Structure 1
Amino acid sequence: RKNKFERFLAKSLLLSSLYMHFYIEHNRGHHKNVSTHEDPSSARRGEWVFFFWFRSMIMGYISAWKIETAQMKKKGYSSISIHNEMLRFQLIQLAFLVLIYWGFGYMPMIYFLVAALIGIIQLETVNYIEHYGLSRTQKETGQYERVQPWHSWNSNHTLGRLFLFELSRHSDHHFLASRKYQILSHHEASPQMPTGYPGMMLLSMVPPLWFVVMHNHIERINKEKA
C-alpha cells in the first residue's frame, strides 16, 4: 500500500505476533519470488508442513535482513543505521516485550509469547497451503515467468472470504498485488482448493493424507495445462 497510515496499521498488527519482518519479506521478497525455490514462503511438493514452519520462519527472517541491508546499501546508509527498518523492528518488538513485563509482570509476558507463536504458526500454515507444489517456469535467461493466477491456490467459499477479508482469493492477490482486498477477483483458471482454508489447514496436519489429496489435484492441473 502507498498510504502511510495503512502501512502503519499493517506493521502494528504484525507487532502483536512479533513478526514485523514479515512486512518486508512478504512485500519485497515473497511477491517477487513466489512459487520458486528462492521463496521461503512457497511450500515445495512433498514438503511436510512441520518442516516448512522452520524453513519459512528462519529463511524468511534472514531474507528480510538481506533485503533491507541491500536497500540501505543502495541508499548509501550503513546496515546498522536507524534508517534500517529491520533494525527498528527489532527494537520496537523488544520495547513492546519490556512494556508488557513492566506493566503486567513475567507470566503475562510468557502468555503473550505463546500467543504470538500460535499466531506465527497459523500464518505459516496458511503460507504452506497457498502455494503448495506450484512453480513458475524459469527461462533460459535465469528469470522466471510472470506471476499468473495459476501460481496460487484459490478458494472462493463465501464464509472464508468474509472471515479472512478475501485472503482466500489469493490468486488475484498475487496476480495484481496492488489491488485492495475489497475488490479482489475470482479466477476460474486458477487451481481451486478442495475445501476452504480451515479444512485445508487441518488436512495439512496429516501429511500422508495431504499428499494424496493435493498431488492428485496437481497432476490433474498439469494434464489440463498440457
Structure 2
Amino acid sequence: MSSGFKKIGFLSALILPLLFILGLELGGVWLGAIHLFVFLLIPLMDFWVSKDTRNVPKESVSKEAKAIFYQLITHVWVVVQLGVLFWTCYRLSQESYSLTSWLLLVSGAALVTGGIGITVAHELGHKSRPLDQWFAKVLLMTVGYMHFIIEHNRGHHVHVATPKDPATSREGENFYAFWWRSVSQGYLNAWQLEKERLGKKGSSNWSWSNQMIQFHLITVCFWVISTLVFSLSQSRWVWEVPVFLISQGILAFTLLELVNYLEHYGMSRRLLPNGRYVRVTPMHSWNASQRISNFLLFQLQRHSDHHTFASKPYQILDHHEDSPQLPAGYSAMIIIALFPPLWFKLMNPRLEDWRKKNQSWSIQ
C-alpha cells in the first residue's frame, strides 16, 4: 500500500464529524446518518474490502514515523472535536429537539468524541512531547474522562492480561458487568497511582500537584464555562448544554470501555514462580485486520503491536499474523458485545483455541 493512499485513508475519520454536522443541520432522520455509517456501512465495507496484513517495510519505517502529516491529523482533530461540541451547544441553545432527536444527537456526538476522539487522545497520550500530552488531556476533558491518561499509561499497560487490570475483561464476563468494574476500579486506580507518585516525591495527596484534583476541576470548569457562555448569549439558563456535554461524555467513555472489553477478552498472562507475570507479547491482545475500520480508528485494531511498543506511532504499527484475530472489525464487534449470549458463542471457542496454542504465555 502506498504512503499516499494510507494518508487519504486516515483522513476518513473526518467523515464522522461531517456526517454529524450534516445531521444536525438537516435534522430528522439525517441525525441517524452517522450511526448508519459506523454500524452498517463500515462493517459492510470491512466485509467487502480485502484485509490489510501488510506492514511498513523496514527501510521506510523511520521516514513514515517522522512524517508530519500523520501527527498533523491528530492535532487537527482536537480543533475539529471542539468545534463540533461548541456548534452543537449553539444549536441546542437555539432550537428545541424531541426526545428521539436528543438520543440520536447525543449518541451521534459520542461517536465523534468517543469513537474517534478518545482514540486520538489515546495516541497522543503515549507521546512524550508536552503539546501532545496537552492535546490528549483536552480531548479527554470534553468527555469527562481525564483520569484515563493516568490509569491507561501507568496501570493498564503494566498489568494488562492479569487480574490486577480492570480494563482486561474476563472469560465469561458480560460487557455490562465489565463496564462497572472497569469504570469504577479504573477511576480508583488512577487515584492510587497518583498517591504513589506524589508519595515518592514527598508531596501531599491532597495538593494541587495531584493530577486527579486538577482533572476534576478542569472538567467542571469546562462544563460551567460552556453553560455560562451560552446562557449569557441567550439570556436564559441553557440547561441543554450541561445535559448534552455530560450525556455525550458518558456514552463516549462507554464506547471506550466497549473497545477495552473486546481488545483483551479472556487474555491472561501466566504467573511465574518468582511472582511476576510473563512479559506482554503480541499474543495478549485481540486484533482485527479489516482495512476500512483500521483507517477510521488510526490502526487501533493493531492493538498487540501497540502493547508491545506503546510509544510506536499509529502509522507504523505492525500486523502480527500469530496474534489472536477478531472475526470482524470493531464497529461490528461492538454491537455483538452488547448481546452477551451472541458474544460468548462467537468468542469463547476462539479464546479456547488461543489458550491451546499459547500455553507458555497464558494461565494454564
SS in 2 for 1:139: coil
2:192 is aligned to: 66
Unaligned runs of 5+ in 2: 1-126, 231-237, 360-364
Alignment of 1:130-141 (within 5 A): 130-141=263-274
SS in 1 for 2:336: helix
1:204 aligns with 2:337: yes
- Partner Cα distance (2:194, 2:357) in 1: 40
Verify: 1:42 aligned to 2:165, yes or no: no
Tell me which moved more, 71-80 or 215-224. 215-224
Distance 2:214 2:358 in 1: 45
Aligned counterparts, 1:64-213, within 5 A: 64-104=190-230, 105-213=238-346
Residue 142 of structure 2: aligned partner: 16
Q: Which residue of 2 aligns with 1:31?
A: 157
Percent identity over paired residues: 43
Q: Deviations for 1:176-224, whole angstroms, at most 9, x for unmatched residues?
A: 1111111100011110001000111111111011111111101122223
Q: Secondary structure at the match of 2:152?
A: helix
- How many aligned positions are there? 226
Amino acid at match of 1:60: G
Separation in 2, partners of 1:18, 1:223:
40
Q: Which secondary structure state, in structure 1, belongs to the residue aligned with residue 219 of structure 2?
A: helix
Larger mean Cα displacement after TM superposition, 102-111 or 190-199 = 102-111
Return the alpha-carbon distance in structure 2 between the equivalents of residues 14 and 225 of structure 1. Answer: 36
| 1:221 paired residue number | 354
Distance 1:162 1:86 in 2: 33
Extract unaligned runs of 5+ from structure 1: none
Q: CA RMSD in A?
A: 0.9
Q: Which has the higher contact order (CA 8 A, sep 6+)?
A: 2
Counterpart secondary structure, 2:214: helix
Q: Partners of 2:227 and 2:344 in 1: how far apart?
A: 43
**CA shift for structure 1 position 26:** 0.3
Larger Rg: 2
Once residues 353 and 309 of structure 2 are traced to their aligned partners in structure 1, the CA distance between those partners, rounded to angstroms, is 26
Residue 143 of structure 1: CA displacement? 1.0
